[in-house]
Amino acid sequence: MSNEQQSVKMWSGRFREPLDAEFEQWQRSIVFDWQLLEHEVAASKAHASTLVAANILTKDEGIQLRDALDAISADHASDEGKLLVRNHPSAEDIHHFVELSLAERIGSLGLKLHTGRSRNEQIATDLRLYVRAQIVEVVSSLGLWANALLAQARNAKDAVMPSYTHMQRAEPVLVAHWLLANVEMALRDATRLEDCAARLNYCPLGSGAVAGATLALDRTIAARELGFTAPTANSIDATSDRDFILEYLQALTFVGLHLSRFAEEITLFATAEFGFVVLPEAFSTGSSAMPQKKNPDMTELIRAKVGRINGAAQAVTLMLKGLPLAYNKDMQETQEPAFSVDFVPQMLALVARFTSALGFNFERMNEAAQSGYLNAMAAATYLVHKGVPFRTAHEKVGNVVRFAIEKGVELSDLTLDELHRFGDEFAEDFNAAMTLTATLDCHDVVGGTARNRVRQAIVEAAEKIERMATQRHLKEAIHAGA
């Protein structure tokens, strides 16, 4: 490598010897951080605005730089263009690529843009912009899934199914109530991600390499242009902070966990042993050996994806553990885990379509909800209303259940004389309290499965999803930084 070739690097002035050729290729990040091009361009335009305000660049130079940056972004927006960035023969990273591209387009003016900044602050800014944009996509896709669940809850009306504890039938619940449980998980996931976005929404530009810019720059200019809340408060922290990547991956882990739990239940409910749901053929596959099979590939893959997401979070945790302040090259390794979970919005969109296409065997679910003494809790509550202490009522009903099991009947099939063996509190109104609707409606509390409560919960869930779908503060920030 000649001196002229070596001088192309952004840091080569201090060095006399060229890099080991294999090490040079091995340490380059352009092979993955090419994904930050649009964010690097946005941050560079914001920095140009700051330099113009500081009279380091003229207004005309600022316009030339911004136009050239827009042209670089436009030229590489296609898949072919992105491949050219990724395979650039000499760029070390996305910052180097943009600088080389600017020099090719506008000559030495392109080299002026790096005045007053460091790659340490650039990558910290680009990654914040990237994660913020990804959060918007994930939250939007969570809204799609939540709406699909809500639509199924509305369609289910007063259909009933068993609920489970310890994978044993527990009490009857409305199918809508079960679906809304998943909506609540999705809503919590969205708020975690939005909290993460709020915490990361501070601009590192102007932090320099570690101690702050050496020029009197107005840091609020870049922060405002990129849609950040404000500049970061400490240059050391700003250049070394990757908390937001870890927090983002941890928040996505919850998304994966909740999808996995949903997928597991659907996988079970689709078996012949349960028969509660009918898998849509558009999201299922067959067996190469057994002609009768319809396999739940969709839910099985969803169930597995949380491993990849949490693996990325664990990787970043170990990368950051024990790092001294401030920037260290180790931090380059946090990027690939962040990029590796870009499948989440698509996965959620697929889950939303899958959920909308699910069929429900309401008759089978209803039958299952009326056998196996799922009204035993309601029976104990009946005795409580008769003045029996709950612990005593629990014991009495347990004895009644054992008797009914031995006789091979349900509680409502027992005669009043048989019930009186276990207590005089049982009366003619017992069977009315044991009906399916009465068993549901005795759970008449906020968050309960009583029919009127679930109808209200559907209305409230729709309002929450609508608020989540707007994401005005995040979308405005993205628009401002576009």
How does pLDDT run across 116-158, given as a tens digit for each residue? Answer: 999 999 999 999 999 999 999 999 999 999 999 999 999 999 9
pLDDT tens sequence across 1-28: 233 433 456 656 666 778 778 878 888 9
CATH 1.20.200.10 residue ranges of the chain are: 120-368+460-481
287 catalytically annotated: yes
pLDDT tens sequence across 314-328: 999 999 999 999 999
* HSE toward the beta carbon, residue 99, CA cutoff 13 A: 20
* HSE toward the beta carbon, residue 107, CA cutoff 13 A: 1
pLDDT tier at 108, thresholds 50, 70, 90: very high
One-letter amino acid for residue 216 of the chain: A
pTM of the predicted structure, to 2 decimals = 0.92
Which of these, 443, 253, 259, 408, lies nearest to 337 by C-alpha position?
253
pLDDT tier at 276, thresholds 50, 70, 90: very high
Q: Six-digit token pair at 481?
A: 């930084």
Which of these, 171, 182, 179, lies nearest to 155 by C-alpha position?
179
pLDDT tens sequence across 358-376: 999 999 999 999 999 999 9
Q: Where are the alpha helices (DSSP H) in 205-296?
A: 219-225, 235-240, 243-269
CATH 1.10.275.10 residue ranges of the chain are: 3-115
pLDDT tens sequence across 156-170: 999 999 999 999 999
Q: Is 413 helix (H, G, I), strand (E, B) or coil?
A: helix
Residue with tokens 């014991």: 395
* Residue of 2, 108, 166, 288 with catalytic role: 166
Which of these, 234, 206, 210, lies nearest to 220 by C-alpha position?
206
User: Are 277 and 361 within 8 A, CB to CB?
Assistant: yes
CATH 1.10.40.30 residue ranges of the chain are: 376-433
CATH code of 376-433, in short, is: 1.10.40.30
User: Are 245 and 127 within 8 A, CB to CB?
Assistant: yes
For strands 168-174 and 160-165, give the pairing.
antiparallel
Q: Report the CATH fold assignment for 120-368+460-481.
A: Fumarase C; Chain A, domain 2 (1.20.200)
7 catalytically annotated: no
3-115: in CATH 3.40.47.10: no
For strands 277-278 and 359-360, give the pairing.
antiparallel
* Residue of 7, 78, 90, 287 with catalytic role: 287
Other Cβ atoms less than 10 A from the Cβ of 23: the count is: 9
Which of these, 394, 457, 396, 449, lies nearest to 162 by C-alpha position?
449
pLDDT tens sequence across 35-73: 999 999 999 999 999 999 999 999 999 999 999 999 999
Distance of CA 343 to the CA centre of its chain: 10
Q: What is the chain's length?
A: 482
